[in-house]
Structure 1
């Protein structure tokens, strides 16, 4: 017996990932340059907001951006530090310290890599749209609230509850009106430029221009604002993070949270990119997980933070005319050039300028039209959306997704349960004497744990209260049966038979036969031949049974039936 390894060829890079024709390469170079310019201030900002530092944001954009582009499953995905990951990482840094980031990043990357090898990429399709949008809205709110301290010129508590920290920061700013005024002015300037410049020209990198203008003005006026500070002028040497048994135990939960978010956000971003591509595109979800896992591992080795696919930067990449994954590689190289050539000017950027960039980014993460669409769809979807968003802001991102899924599942099961019903039908053909003693029930929908008790009660009450001698159960319209539903049917048959009511079953589907047999539904029938394929046969046997009972005689066995 030989051990066969799984085929992973579809998870590896291929020659056709790239198109080396000059026209295509030029389009990719232009798109990559555009995305790199847009990504630079975001990489710095997300590094700062996560508590890891701007240098880690730059390293992540370079290393993870290139690795994910080469190994990932999307032609257009641009990866790097994101707001959602910064939100998850901030409390980890606050609780376990800055030294824990490298190990968490590598462990999270390994989990995502294994998920890809196990072919779990399609799992994201089971996340309902209201949960995704509620999650995104909650992240946007957290990103915005995280910037409030910098906006009013005070230091916020990294890792604390963002809403509480934001409120406290506003109170503290009242005692320092001078610093608050400078900070608010810079944030307002950056926001105004980011909102106004795209109206003048879509080709202008608004966030970069806004940061440059704010920095020049801050330097010219000598504004008392905190700056980014010293940055490395080269990439650090890769090193393995220290991994003791106690550290692995302490950080296992954090690594799983990071991995879950990285997988969900990356797959959603890749799906959005595929839908945005002008000529249509497909993505490979399992390969995308492998690429993102390797990207986070590489980022952790170089001192970066966990990476995910970035929806905003990916959208810019597609709209800028990218053709292949070469554009995402160029984006990483552009930021690498900044590290080697321009860390001096970058170090003078005011932190409040980055706060302004993130505030505008948070506003753009969820469109008003999307919110209206979700809230106006169904009450169940609206509740799921609101609950997911509130839990995201108030508690924890991963818990928010879990609770959102539970809420969505509850409403879905309730809908299926309500669609499952039982109807008493008239007997087919001309009425005959004794038909009033025959009850014909049609079961529709699904017999599962959410509906079985109600169906059981309705049939039992209608049968026992009347002068019913025979009950015919039509099961041909039952779409799904689980163990609970099958057990309820067995109890129904047993209860009616104990009341002296003969039960006939019609239309058991082949796919349900094994389960119904295993739980004893058919064994509880008075006779093994009380199972029928056609309604006419079942009703004829029921009438025969009633006629003989009216004559005061036992029903003899005819062809094995009673």
Structure 2
């Protein structure tokens, strides 16, 4: 195990500075195009994505107790951000909602809600990510062929009375740009190459993110075309259009502040709750994944992480940034590059800040076709066919909630889709609970010369099991022995116990010998032995 020499205040391992610098630098290179692309897809000013990335690296990185997680804008927040901006009709009003979302997250941390992710069925979570992935893929198709107008329009597949993706695709068909298509093809080919074993295992290419190569080649291709024939080159809204400040005063003017006059707008609070819930869930899932990748197997305190994410969103909203959360893509890239402490996150944020101050002109040369390719691949990774096959292999009770969640998100919105998926998932949980509450074995007892029915109750027998148990009792044949074994049950609802005991009177009338074994162990009283039983015989 690596020896840790930590700065006690920041939790930084000074013995691994080189690896942290490498991890922070490479995650920064991944973050630049993603911050811009996510801001674009969210309908927010492009600089708002950079602000969120800076805050995620510097503020959350300093406050969080996670050693490896890196925070910033994330694809899972695109839909809720876009929907909130559209419903509020004002970006400053949206910033107020982001601030309130941060306060809600801080409150969730103090309320010890870090276990909230445990209450969401895994099939619904996977369906949510797959739905987001499909929408990201569809949304990028116009940009891949050079149609970059109306870049932030709605995500709904069917949006009566408004501009929607179907209409956007139709308009894109008549506005192809050859250079954009060329850049898109090159970009997707680069992503394909970087997934091949030869590139993954090479000591040079494995440490260079494909997203960086895509951006560099996109810029070079467009500049080469510009040298050959300026009229063919992409320009205007086909390129990133970050403001270029001439001095410190102009740079400060790039920051937007919340519209506090909207404090009495109910939609602000609705949007804040939506942002807080989605951002918190995304953060908890990403933290869990980052801890799994940690070579030192450290565990992040989830309640403190909610507070850190809340502080990050509060600060981001106050200075004009979009919502942020822990991002597993950046975290995993940083870990693979050798990062072992939060110094990597701090370097990531610092480099973003320096880049936007000193290199905005270079950033403005990036074609949107390159960013669209990055987001399309991101969407593919969220919704790839292997995920669908894996969920299908888990059975109907997992696959149907997964499919319902995906379809509901595509046809409604993110929160409605999750809610519908949750209802479906809970239905199948209750169904499985109903079907698996007990097991039945029927034998012939030669000694008694009659049928013996053995019923083994499950670990947790709630009132939901009562209906199926009553149905089973009704079908017990006369002149038989019925043994109900609850010795392995840690909990049996009183309604179920009453139903069994009430069956005793019926059992006597039908010459059924009823044997009921209960486990009287109290888990909170260790002086009780697990073998202590209570047996009732009704004859």
TM-score, structure 2 length as denominator? 0.82
> What SS does structure 2 have at the residue aligned with 1:323?
coil
Q: Would the aligned equivalents of 1:94 and 1:159 in 2 still touch at CA under 8 Å?
A: no
- Segments of structure 2 that go 5 or more residues without pairing to the other structure are 1-6, 159-163, 246-250, 524-532
Q: Matched residues in 1 for 2:84 and 2:378: separation?
A: 23
Query: Could you say if the C-alpha distance between residues 507 and 231 of structure 1 is closer, same or farther in structure 2, counting changes exceeding 3 Å?
Result: same
> Where does residue 554 of structure 1 map in the other structure?
none
In the alignment, is residue 186 of structure 1 matched against residue 183 of structure 2? yes
Q: Matched residues in 1 for 2:452 and 2:393: separation?
A: 43
- Segments of structure 1 that go 5 or more residues without pairing to the other structure are 1-12, 514-531, 543-562
Query: Could you say if the C-alpha distance between residues 425 and 350 of structure 1 is closer, same or farther in structure 2, counting changes exceeding 3 Å?
Result: closer
Query: Could you say if the C-alpha distance between residues 322 and 398 of structure 1 is closer, same or farther in structure 2, counting changes exceeding 3 Å?
Result: same
Q: Write out per-residue CA displacement over residues 112-153 of structure 1, whole angstroms, 9 at most, x where no aligned residue.
A: 111111111122133333333222211111111121232331
In the alignment, is residue 481 of structure 1 matched against residue 492 of structure 2? yes
Which stretch of structure 1 is more off in the superposition, 386-395 or 85-94? 386-395
1:486 shift after superposition: 4.7
Q: Matched residues in 2 for 1:38 and 1:63: separation?
A: 16
Q: Matched residues in 1 for 2:441 and 2:290: separation?
A: 52
Q: Matched residues in 2 for 1:309 and 1:132: separation?
A: 16
Query: Could you say if the C-alpha distance between residues 534 and 427 of structure 1 is closer, same or farther in structure 2, counting changes exceeding 3 Å?
Result: farther
1:105 shift after superposition: 1.0
> Where does residue 378 of structure 1 map in the other structure?
395
Q: Would the aligned equivalents of 2:30 and 2:211 in 1 still touch at CA under 8 Å?
A: yes
Which stretch of structure 1 is more off in the superposition, 282-291 or 377-386? 377-386
> Where does residue 155 of structure 1 map in the other structure?
149
Query: Could you say if the C-alpha distance between residues 37 and 94 of structure 1 is closer, same or farther in structure 2, counting changes exceeding 3 Å?
Result: same
> Where does residue 18 of structure 1 map in the other structure?
12
Q: Matched residues in 2 for 1:444 and 1:415: separation?
A: 14
Q: Spell out the pairing of 1:382-397 with structure 2 (5 A cutoff).
A: 382-397=399-414
Query: Could you say if the C-alpha distance between residues 232 and 301 of structure 1 is closer, same or farther in structure 2, counting changes exceeding 3 Å?
Result: farther
Q: Would the aligned equivalents of 2:35 and 2:53 in 1 still touch at CA under 8 Å?
A: yes
> What SS does structure 2 have at the residue aligned with 1:147?
helix
In the alignment, is residue 126 of structure 1 matched against residue 119 of structure 2? yes
Q: Write out per-residue CA displacement over residues 393-434 of structure 1, whole angstroms, 9 at most, x where no aligned residue.
A: 222223333333333333333223222347587898954xxx
1:166 shift after superposition: 3.2
Q: Write out per-residue CA displacement over residues 286-326 of structure 1, whole angstroms, 9 at most, x where no aligned residue.
A: 11111111111110011001101111111101101001001
> Where does residue 534 of structure 2 map in the other structure?
533
Query: Could you say if the C-alpha distance between residues 281 and 491 of structure 1 is closer, same or farther in structure 2, counting changes exceeding 3 Å?
Result: same
> Where does residue 166 of structure 2 map in the other structure?
167
> Where does residue 444 of structure 1 map in the other structure?
457
Q: Would the aligned equivalents of 1:93 and 1:159 in 2 still touch at CA under 8 Å?
A: no
Query: Could you say if the C-alpha distance between residues 427 and 70 of structure 1 is closer, same or farther in structure 2, counting changes exceeding 3 Å?
Result: same
Q: Matched residues in 1 for 2:534 and 2:366: separation?
A: 79
In the alignment, is residue 100 of structure 1 matched against residue 93 of structure 2? yes
> Where does residue 313 of structure 2 map in the other structure?
296
Of 271, 277, 296, 2:294 maps to 277
Query: Could you say if the C-alpha distance between residues 49 and 495 of structure 1 is closer, same or farther in structure 2, counting changes exceeding 3 Å?
Result: same
1:261 shift after superposition: 1.1
Q: Spell out the pairing of 1:242-281 with structure 2 (5 A cutoff).
A: 242-247=260-265, 249-281=266-298
| Cα root mean square deviation, aligned | 3.3
Q: Matched residues in 2 for 1:533 and 1:429: separation?
A: 26
1:342 shift after superposition: 0.8
Of 109, 112, 118, 2:105 maps to 112
> Where does residue 58 of structure 2 map in the other structure?
66
Q: Matched residues in 2 for 1:370 and 1:473: separation?
A: 41
> Where does residue 358 of structure 1 map in the other structure?
375
Query: Could you say if the C-alpha distance between residues 146 and 439 of structure 1 is closer, same or farther in structure 2, counting changes exceeding 3 Å?
Result: same
Query: Could you say if the C-alpha distance between residues 387 and 82 of structure 1 is closer, same or farther in structure 2, counting changes exceeding 3 Å?
Result: same
Q: Matched residues in 2 for 1:439 and 1:30: separation?
A: 69
Q: Spell out the pairing of 1:137-536 with structure 2 (5 A cutoff).
A: 137-152=130-145, 153=147, 155-156=149-150, 158-164=152-158, 165-177=164-176, 179=177, 181-196=178-193, 199=199, 201-219=205-223, 220=226, 221-222=229-230, 223-225=233-235, 226=237, 227-231=239-243, 233=245, 234=251, 239=257, 241-247=259-265, 249-421=266-438, 423=440, 430-431=447-448, 442=455, 444-445=457-458, 447-462=461-476, 466=478, 475-476=486-487, 478-482=489-493, 485-486=496-497, 488-489=499-500, 492=503, 506-510=516-520, 533-534=534-535
Q: Would the aligned equivalents of 1:79 and 1:309 in 2 still touch at CA under 8 Å?
A: yes
Q: Write out per-residue CA displacement over residues 196-255 of structure 1, whole angstroms, 9 at most, x where no aligned residue.
A: 3563712223322322332343342432442222425435568554154432x2122221
Which stretch of structure 1 is more off in the superposition, 65-74 or 313-322? 65-74
> Where does residue 528 of structure 1 map in the other structure?
none
Q: Matched residues in 2 for 1:252 and 1:87: separation?
A: 17
In our comparison, the structure showing a higher alpha carbon Rg is 1
Larger RCO: 1 or 2 (CA < 8 Å, sep 6+): 2
Which stretch of structure 1 is more off in the superposition, 211-220 or 154-163? 154-163
